[in-house]
Amino acid sequence: MELIQHAQSLGPMQLKVSDLLRLVQPDQRIAAQRDLLEMVRFGQDRYLRLLRVVAVEGPPNVFAGAELVGESIAAIRRDIEKIVEGHLEAAEQFEVHFDEGATRLLDLIDEVRTALDGM
């Protein structure tokens, strides 16, 4: 459950990317970039630690779903890093990966519910 809660807490990244893209003042943009990178790095690292626990303790189908969410988080991180480097066209890919990750998260929640109901 902690894995799902953490994945859901990454939702504000979408708003932060949107805010970053609207900033025009260099000092504000640099601060926002730094905050966003810190958020995504911390979030991905923590998710990967929780994923290892699921790999050991969880049923295989839950682990498979959690891995897919982890792949989406990694893609989102790469997109954010590109945006921060000035490749603003990566924002479109970010949206695609973010939506894909949200769908995968919903699928994971269903897998967890099914697994818990079977206990």
Average the pLDDT over each of 4-8, 15-19, 52-56, 77-81 and give the range with the smallest value: 4-8
Span 106-112, average pLDDT: 88
Buried b (16+ CB within 10 A) or exposed e, 61-96: ebbebbebbbebbbbbbebbbbbbeeeeebbebbee
- Regarding predicted confidence, which is higher, 9 or 100? 100
Domain boundaries, the chain: 2-117
What is this structure's pTM? 0.82
| Other C-beta atoms lying within 10 Å of the C-beta of residue 43 | 19
Number of residues in the chain: 119
The pLDDT, as a whole number, for residue 1 is: 67
Span 31-59, average pLDDT: 85
- Percent of the chain clearing pLDDT 90 (strictly above): 21
The listed CATH number (1.10.3470, 1.10.20, 2.40.160, 1.20.120) that belongs to domain 2-117: 1.20.120
Q: Are 84 and 17 in contact (CB under 8 A)?
A: no
Q: Using 50, 70 and 90 to split pLDDT, how confident is the model at 95? A: very high
Q: Which long-range contacts (CB under 8 A, 24 or more apart) does 52-61 make?
A: 53/3, 54/3, 58/115, 59/115, 61/111, 61/114, 61/115
The pLDDT, as a whole number, for residue 96 is: 95
